[in-house]
Amino acid sequence: MIRTFRAPGRVNLIGEHTDYNQGLVLPMALSQATFVESAPNPAESLYVYSEHYKESREWPLGAISQLEPARDWGDYVAGVARELVRGGYRIEPRRLFIRSTVPEGAGLSSSAALEISCALALAADQPVAPLDLAKLGQRAEVEFVGLPCGIMDQYVSVFGREGAALLIDCLNLERQYVALPSGVSILAVNSMVKHALAQSAYRKRTEECAEAARCLGVGSLREVSQSTFETAADAIPETARNRARHVIDENERVRRFSVSKDPVELGRLLIESHRSLRYLYEVSCAELDFLVDTALEIDGVHGARVTGGGFGGCTINLVREGCEARFTETVQSAYIRRFGISPAVYRCVAAAGAGEITSA
């Protein structure tokens, strides 16, 4: 029997680079998702085919607990399979066919969508607690793919809900659903670039935050309030101090964003977040700054910022309802004039979290 599993991508409204600092984030799951069709496999192996890459990978079932990374897309699947086996789950011989509507490498988390959809398909009828599913996906990415990411992407791909954003406290993994503001649209603009230093810079940022926490004598930056930070900041070397200031202020912005209904205030928080990511956290780039600056000059735009890890990928834009078409046209033509590439624009609609698709 062929079964189909779906896991959504996500857009992060605010709370950037806070998750691996045990902080607050406010993402929502997207209608763009990864779909895995799972069919029986006559061979004693796990076979996967990616429609996007038009490539397959295959691993003998007996070898899965010992797999090593190959540094390509198959690692996300192999990593999840290895985590399942190590967690005591049984993997049946299956053929998985992967297709996705999440743009890849654009900061909308095609990686978590891939991990969670494959994990569901591979666990099949063995129940996995939702939180364990998210943690397993994160472990696959940290330990197998080798990116020291936080839990946000996998968590929201599992727990997303239609019409709502998800306030996640990465310290205790508690969640709260937050209604989206009315009268506005959330649009993501894809810069269509991903600069090569994205991965190494991400790793470096995690180290710089850990250094700041050490200087402050705390386990994570989450333990530090804005006022405590101001009195102790001098003890931290400048770069680590700037990173920490971003994280600590950003947590506060998430708190304010999640309780405000005023589009003007929400927009202002996005603008502040972008400025902080640009100057303090230094994860923006010319293309993203251009997209944000251009957006902010368009009538009906309340705010804009980079979303996701940075160094390319998407911006998100809070746009007054009715102004979407002109926004899209203006941003696209300006970006083409400046960079010679047409940026894709996606309307972000909050969708449900991952699960099996059952045909009626």
Closest to Mg ion by CB, 118 vs 236, is: 118
Of the residues 125, 153, 249, 289, which is catalytic?
Answer: 153
Closest to ligand ADP by CB, 9 vs 303, is: 9
Of residues 82 through 101, those in contact with ligand ADP by CB under 6 A are 98, 100
Per the listing, tokens 């540094």 go with 71
> In whole angstroms, how far apart are CA 88 and each of 17, 65, 95, 126, 154?
32, 10, 21, 10, 20
Closest CA to 219 of 14, 22, 1, 7: 22
Per the listing, tokens 């506005």 go with 184
Closest to ligand ADP by CB, 242 vs 307, is: 307
Query: Whole-number minimum distance, CB 109 to ligand ADP, in Å?
Result: 4
Closest to ligand ADP by CB, 25 vs 266, is: 25
Q: Which does 308 bind (CB under 5 to 8 A by kind): ligand ADP, Mg ion, none?
A: ligand ADP
Closest to ligand ADP by CB, 194 vs 245, is: 194
Q: Given phi > 0 = left and psi -120 to 50 = alpha, else beta, which region is 142? A: alpha
Among 12, 32, 111, 317, binds Mg ion (CB under 5 A): 111
Per the listing, tokens 């063995």 go with 126
Per the listing, tokens 């993997």 go with 91
| Residue 73 in contact with ligand ADP, rule: CB under 6 A | yes
Question: Checking DSSP bridges between strand 174-179 and strand 184-194, what pairing results, if any?
Answer: unpaired
Catalytic-residue membership of 125: no
Closest to ligand ADP by CB, 159 vs 202, is: 202
The answer to whether the CB of 151 falls within 8 A of the CB of 22 is no
Residue 40-59 contact track with ligand ADP, rule CB under 6 A, x = bound: ----------x-xx------
Give every CB contact of residue 229 below 8 A, 6+ residues apart in sequence: 216, 244, 245, 248
Among 13, 61, 114, 285, binds ligand ADP (CB under 6 A): 114
DSSP state of 162: T
d(CA 175, CA 178): 10
d(CA 266, CA 9): 23
Stretch that binds ligand ADP, among 110-118, 233-241, 285-293, 336-344 (CB under 6 A): 110-118
Among 32, 109, 190, 273, binds ligand ADP (CB under 6 A): 109
| Residue 308 in contact with ligand ADP, rule: CB under 6 A | yes
Give me Rg for the CA atoms of the chain.
Answer: 20
The answer to whether the CB of 77 falls within 8 A of the CB of 57 is yes
Query: Whole-number minimum distance, CB 115 to ligand ADP, in Å?
Result: 9
Stretch that binds Mg ion, among 104-112, 186-194, 317-325, 341-349 (CB under 5 A): 104-112
> In whole angstroms, how far apart are CA 321 and each of 10, 48, 266?
21, 42, 15
Which residue is nearest to Mg ion, using beta carbons? 111
Query: Whole-number minimum distance, CB 141 to Mg ion, in Å?
Result: 7
Closest CA to 288 of 53, 20, 16: 16
Stretch that binds ligand ADP, among 17-25, 108-116, 157-165, 206-214 (CB under 6 A): 108-116
Q: Which residues bind Mg ion (CB under 5 A)?
A: 109, 111
Residues engaged in binding ligand ADP (CB under 6 A): 34, 50, 52-53, 73, 76, 98, 100, 104-111, 114, 308
Give catalytic residues, as residue numbers. Answer: 153
